[in-house]
Amino acid sequence: MSWYTNLFCSLPCLETDRLLLRPLKMSDAKDMYAYAKDPEVSRYVLWEPHKSIWDTRRFLYFSIGQYRKGFPGSYAMELKDSGRMIGTIGFMWVNGEFKSAEVGYSMSRDYWNRGLMTEALQEILRFGFEEMKLNRIEAQHDTQNPASGKVMAHCGMRFEGVLRQRVMNKGQYRDAAVYAILKNEWQYNVQI
């Protein structure tokens, strides 16, 4: 087992001013379904809106199984003041040899434009560079969703280019904008 495998088997909780980032659990089904059924939330991501709470439970069961296998996974984003689970953020993949990873996220539309995703991404970047000892962290977003790119830019990630027709999403080929940040860039941003 690699160090990353051990890490994802027992994902540590992380905290920000307003959020607890913690492993997903089956009791998140109600909160997750409340936003995962919203077509606007899933509009630019690769998953379809959940048609029933059973879709949500299947996703949670799969995600918890990924932890057990030591595969990269997502954190639940829980509001500290209410205990409500409002989204996910985490690692899509990790390459131990090159010390690089990709992050992805989604969040309830009720909480958009409050700086919560920026707060969560900043903590994931800190965790990736300080604790996982990564050198590069990247993220991508559908070019028709520039708000996601703004979150990345607010966290110091730099736009690297567009991968044309990178993914098939909702029956259409979609372009993806790629952002990344290197450890030395993150350290510089933290110092100023």
Handedness of CA 173, 142, 177, 16 (dihedral sign): negative
Helix ranges restricted to H, the chain: 3-9, 29-36, 39-42, 53-69, 116-126, 146-154, 183-191
**Which residue from 147, 42, 34, 152 is spatially nearest to 82, judged by alpha carbons?**
34
CA distance linking residue 52 with residue 127, whole number of Å: 34
Per-residue pLDDT of the chain (192 residues; tens, 9 = 90+): 466 778 888 889 999 999 999 999 999 999 999 999 999 999 999 899 999 999 999 999 999 999 999 999 999 999 999 999 999 999 999 998 999 999 999 999 999 999 999 999 999 999 999 999 999 999 999 999 999 999 999 999 999 999 999 999 999 999 999 999 999 999 877 665
Going by DSSP bridges, is the β-strand pair 100-107/136-142 parallel, antiparallel, or unpaired? parallel
Q: Tell me the domains of the chain and their CATH numbers.
A: 3-191 (3.40.630.30)
Phi–psi pair at 56, nearest 5 degrees? -65, -45
